[in-house]
Structure 1
Amino acid sequence: MNESHSGASFDGCWSAVAQFLRAAHVSDVFGLPSDDLTALAELSSAGVRMVVCRDQRNAMHMATGYAQRLGKPAVCIVGKGPAVSNLVTGLLEAATSRTPVLVLAVSTPPDRQHAGAFQDCDQLAMVRATVKRALRVDDAGRVPAVLQQAWSAASSGAPGPVFVEFGEQLLSAAIPPPVSWAIGPERTEGFVPPADSAALALLGQASRPLIVVGGGARRADAGAAVLELAEMIGAGIVCTASGRGAVDETHTQFLGLVGLYGRPVVTELLASTDLVISIGSRLEETATVGWPVPASTPVIQVNIAADDCLHEFCGPVVEGDAGAVIGAWTRELKVGDPGGRLDPGWTAGIANCRSLLFEESATTVWEQQREPGIKIAELLWALRSATSTDITLVQENGLLDMWTYFFPYFLASQGDRVVAPSEQTALGFGAAAAVGAGVAAPDVPVVAVVGDGAFTMFAADLPTAAENRAGVVYLVLCNGGYGWLQAEADAHGTDDYRFADPQRPLPLISAAGVSTVTVLDKNKMLDQLTTAIDLAAEGEVVVALVPTDLADMPPGIADFVNGTERVAQTVAQTPPKE
């Protein structure tokens, strides 16, 4: 896409940035500007809103949540020195989740570097390990070209964050305008499998296929294509944590998450598959922990970049856009009529597995409803009942909020979207990313299920959420700190330190424009959640404090913490014995 530009030189680098972002149809950016507030004025004049944050780490997480929810690059703007170092956790999270974010910062002018200048440091060295590209601009004539290059790099191939720093001498320099702005490359559509495609051959032969859906399938908006392929070949469908929301979880072949968050009945079924099709996943440790698939079972891996595939598995690697690859497979398989090889017992096993998952969850909720206090499974069950419209679910990865990963306690239907942390699981990511998701889709209420430890890390930017009418309900599971560390300490008999204490006072919420409710009464819980979601749909921010018990862990997690099921990532298991 090209946007023409004509006129005089830009008055400083931020003027050039603002006009580039307008050409790229960017409406919102996140960050905390440097002492020179020119960026704010230039963005405003270009019709770009800056969501001014209190903490740069939160700003980066917000930008990541925005990009994940919107499906296109986000922008984060900060100052220099410690402002950049505060970004690093967010950069790591965005890089690992393959989220495109353009990060813009300022830096010491060349003539003052290494000469005792205020906040001078090697910012490029600081961020290089956590970004796709790290670029510095000192020549005024290079500013437009570098902006275009950085935007393309962030969104091309395996997407990710790109860092650009401007020498401070460019803040007031005359920036020559480009003839036109090139906003990202034109991309070819479609995928043509080779005539001797090993992947197609395996798909045509499989009688018990299984599809693993990862975050790459969600980024490619490949959910409909995945379901069409699954129906055609009779595959069971599971997803990774970052793959939530890619497919409609009400589909009869969907069986929840795999690995750490999988249930035993699903693991048992996976052990008998004769083909795994991994779509948009790096098959990281949380997805393959307790992996029951024999080493001799072929695994087809589809990723936008082949270097995201693991070669510890046997089976072909396919490089390409997930939707395009699956679409090509589906067209080829229609000609060959693959359905004849499907094992009827596999089809029955998928249906039985899904039925057992719903029976297990219904039983768990029924039991919790009869226990004192609010339990998390019943809270999630009530949340689903309280939503009469589509929502964006944002997840953290603490001890108790991991309940959201266990299917079907919360079931993401076709219109719902899910924003989840990568396997880095940066503490506080979900709480901040929820603001970005709300800004990205203001007409869709956001529900963020977070622990009080993560929420406390984010809390400085709670006013930011309210000021920008992010429309978020925070379900804050309060156990008085860091539940996972406390569970580890309890499992090892460590009494010297306390990481969590449910008897601690609930977090004090004092941000203007934020409503607070404490969920204590089972009989009022549904009405409280319904009211909160209705308020979020109008742009309000609601914090629902839910006192919890450390013992209320998700199924299987207690055994994992205690070590009885703590196993390293295993990709070379021998076939199970009869």
Structure 2
Amino acid sequence: MQLTGSQILIECLKEQGVDTVFGYPGGAILNVYDELYLHPEIKHVLTSHEQGASHAADGYARSTGKVGVCFATSGPGATNLVTGIATAYMDSVPMVAITCNVGVSLLGKDSFQEIDITGITMPITKHNFIVKDVTKLADTIRRAFSIARNGRPGPVLIDIPKDVTANKTDYKKATIDFTRKLEEVDMDSVEAALKLIKASKKPYIFVGGGAVISEANAELKQFAELVDAPVCDTLMGKGAYDGTSVRYSGMLGMHGTKASNLGVSKCDLLIAIGTRFSDRVLGNAKTFAKNAKILQIDIDPAEINKNVVAFSSVVGDVKQILTIINEKLEQQNHKEWVEYVENLKEQFPLSYPKEGLSGPYIIENIFEQTKGDAIIVTEVGQHQMWAAQYYKYKSPRTLLTSGGLGTMGYGLGASIGAQTANPDRTVVNIAGDGCFRMNLNELATASREQLPLIEVIINNHVLGMVRQWQTLFYNKHYSATVLDDGADYVKVAEALGCKAKRVTTQEEFESAFAEALSSKKPYVIDCIIDSDDKVWPMVAPGKPINEAFDEADYKAKNS
């Protein structure tokens, strides 16, 4: 049958199982929105800004494992998606961003709101397309979704000139196979891995975001038991392994626990699963895990030996590889080594002052009141690290945060996406005041959609993480980091249709958060904490991770 490009786009979205699109209309994409109007089976969430739409699609994808979809028009509409696309690219999030451009005859002529969005996004997409021929549109959309979800996931952009959305061609419905396509695993590399594991006396398992993406939590739990090893993780790996497990020693790296940092520095085999060894994990790459052979398991061969040299590696899907290894591995016993790491945990626990309102207290209380079953979203900064340290993630897809790009302003849009996808779950966005003010306009979206998400602002009236670095490494030169400008976030939130409350004590926070949990509207809690609260422990930039220091160490050194 003959359909317009816009009709083909909507039909292809339905083929792909898309039930929600986040976007913002404009002239070039009007044909698409006119067709979308006739299809209420696809929910459209009108965000306040296109960046909010891209972050919402990201949050939808991270919380469900499905491909997130966002729409934007040409020119500035398309460029406003760029930060969200880059965020998804750095964290391997499956997303399809659909933009429309000026007509084919107007391309390259500096036409009104024309932009080369495929050129702009080429370095930050897994692939992108401009479709100048309507006969190729359906196949391009199907290919885009396949690329986004298969292998190492990532964002794909499709740019469609306006006349292509109006032109007609034959359309034939396709049946889509949603099974992830897995490459065959090299069994020689598996045997080499098994040999390393069996020879190890002090193995440590290090888990990254790839284990979350492949949904390998059950296989990972079995693997840790078989290897009889302690487990640490990255920021992106939270929830792949149960954070309440006795084997779990906390996050690794710059703001990781001393137990994990010291333990990894002593192990003889580091089994790295779905992690790319970012600089925030490594500290000084030359001294990282210097006593260990590194076994790296990752779906992307480009990550092998990129940041650290692996002694051995297995390339493929984490769930698939762990399933194979678990079938072949006999039960190992490392009782003394596991007890050694347990002692490190007891010797160097995470701690904070128990009096007064603080970031760690807020996070711990959120964990207690939600019983660890919430979807936690964060912005970027001190509050993000506290959320990683003090909330115990028991299952995957329960921490949504910008790890690779470190995008301030990410969280509120992402929480809108997560709450839309999971209407019966508690969704909490934890923000700093610096991040909150970047995209606070999306509170209007949450209010319009009547999403009962909870926005917790850990408000220290400064750019907290930057100030922490200025205190520790820049002689307390607080250049451009003080935000004490009289902004009233409670009034702003109420003006945008949300419930809101300001709190200054532990008791006030407990009461406000309990009220927020029972609210059917978006609820903002403005939590006033001290400007000089810091994230501990910390590894100074470029230093070995076994030189992590906490507040007591810092005071002793500088007394």
Normalised by the size of structure 2, how large is the TM-score?
A: 0.90
Q: Distance in 2 between matches of 1:268 and 1:71?
A: 34
Contact kept? 1:26, 1:48, Cα under 8 Å: yes
Equivalent residue for 2:137, pick from 127, 139, 143:
143
Q: Secondary structure at the match of 1:243?
A: coil
Q: For residue 498 of structure 1, what is the aligned residue in structure 2?
A: 480
Aligned partner of 1:476: which letter?
A: I
Contact kept? 2:215, 2:396, Cα under 8 Å: no
Contact kept? 1:502, 1:550, Cα under 8 Å: no
Cα 1:356–1:176 change in 2 (3 A) is farther
Tell me if 1:519 matches 2:503. Answer: yes
Aligned partner of 1:368: which letter?
A: K
Larger displacement relative to structure 2 (63-72 or 461-470): 461-470
Q: For residue 377 of structure 1, what is the aligned residue in structure 2?
A: 360
Equivalent residue for 1:164, pick from 158, 163, 174:
158
Q: For residue 13 of structure 1, what is the aligned residue in structure 2?
A: 5
Task: Give the C-alpha shift of residue 197 in structure 1.
Answer: 2.4
Q: Secondary structure at the match of 1:135?
A: strand
Q: For residue 228 of structure 1, what is the aligned residue in structure 2?
A: 222
Q: For residue 36 of structure 2, what is the aligned residue in structure 1?
A: 43
Identity %: 22
User: Residue deviations 1:358-397, cap 9 Å, x none?
Assistant: 5x43xx3xx332xxx4112222222122114721011222
Contact kept? 1:229, 1:330, Cα under 8 Å: yes
Larger displacement relative to structure 2 (146-155 or 496-505): 496-505
Tell me if 1:509 matches 2:504. Answer: no
Contact kept? 2:272, 2:294, Cα under 8 Å: yes
Q: For residue 281 of structure 2, what is the aligned residue in structure 1?
A: 287
User: Residue deviations 1:36-80, cap 9 Å, x none?
Assistant: 533334234331011111211121111111100001111111001
Contact kept? 2:270, 2:292, Cα under 8 Å: yes
Q: How does 1:191-230 map to 2 (within 5 A)?
A: 191=185, 193-194=187-188, 197-230=191-224
Q: How does 1:1-150 map to 2 (within 5 A)?
A: 8-10=1-3, 12-35=4-27, 36-46=29-39, 47-150=41-144
Q: Distance in 2 between matches of 1:381 and 1:20?
A: 44
Contact kept? 1:480, 1:504, Cα under 8 Å: no
Equivalent residue for 1:348, pick from 339, 344, 351:
339
Cα 1:100–1:177 change in 2 (3 A) is same
User: Residue deviations 1:205-231, cap 9 Å, x none?
Assistant: 112111111111001111111111111
Tell me if 1:473 matches 2:432. Answer: no
Q: For residue 4 of structure 1, what is the aligned residue in structure 2?
A: none
Q: For residue 308 of structure 1, what is the aligned residue in structure 2?
A: 303
Contact kept? 1:393, 1:416, Cα under 8 Å: no
Larger displacement relative to structure 2 (236-245 or 509-518): 509-518
Task: Give the C-alpha shift of residue 290 in structure 1.
Answer: 5.2
Tell me if 1:553 matches 2:539. Answer: no
Q: How does 1:312-351 map to 2 (within 5 A)?
A: 312-333=308-329, 337-339=330-332, 342-351=333-342
Aligned partner of 1:250: which letter?
A: T
Task: Give the C-alpha shift of residue 446 in structure 1.
Answer: 0.7
Q: For residue 574 of structure 1, what is the aligned residue in structure 2?
A: none
Aligned partner of 1:566: which letter?
A: P
Contact kept? 2:229, 2:334, Cα under 8 Å: no
Task: Give the C-alpha shift of residue 15 in structure 1.
Answer: 1.5
Structure 2 unaligned residues grouped into runs of 5+? 547-559
Cα 1:474–1:208 change in 2 (3 A) is same
Tell me if 1:454 matches 2:446. Answer: no
User: Residue deviations 1:386-410, cap 9 Å, x none?
Assistant: 114721011222134421122xx22
Q: For residue 3 of structure 1, what is the aligned residue in structure 2?
A: none
Cα 1:148–1:568 change in 2 (3 A) is farther
User: Residue deviations 1:200-255, cap 9 Å, x none?
Assistant: 11012112111111111001111111111111111110010011121211111011
Q: Distance in 1 between matches of 2:288 and 2:374?
A: 34
Cα 1:115–1:268 change in 2 (3 A) is closer
Task: Give the C-alpha shift of residue 134 in structure 1.
Answer: 1.4
Q: Distance in 2 between matches of 1:544 and 1:503?
A: 19
Q: For residue 576 of structure 1, what is the aligned residue in structure 2?
A: none
Larger displacement relative to structure 2 (193-202 or 230-239): 193-202
Contact kept? 1:462, 1:511, Cα under 8 Å: no
Cα 1:465–1:195 change in 2 (3 A) is closer
Aligned partner of 2:55: which letter?
A: H
Tell me if 1:542 matches 2:488. Answer: no
Equivalent residue for 1:404, pick from 384, 387, 395:
387
Q: Secondary structure at the match of 2:305?
A: coil
Larger displacement relative to structure 2 (181-190 or 31-40): 181-190
Cα 1:135–1:389 change in 2 (3 A) is same
Contact kept? 1:515, 1:542, Cα under 8 Å: yes
Larger displacement relative to structure 2 (547-556 or 292-301): 292-301
Contact kept? 1:64, 1:94, Cα under 8 Å: yes
Q: Distance in 1 between matches of 2:155 and 2:56?
A: 13
User: Residue deviations 1:483-515, cap 9 Å, x none?
Assistant: 233344445246584322457444232344311
Q: Distance in 2 between matches of 1:302 and 1:470?
A: 39
Instruction: Provide the aligned length of Structure 1 versus Structure 2.
Output: 539
Task: Give the C-alpha shift of residue 570 in structure 1.
Answer: 8.7
Task: Give the C-alpha shift of residue 189 in structure 1.
Answer: 8.9
Contact kept? 1:61, 1:432, Cα under 8 Å: yes
Tell me if 1:368 matches 2:354. Answer: yes
Q: Distance in 2 between matches of 1:384 and 1:399?
A: 17
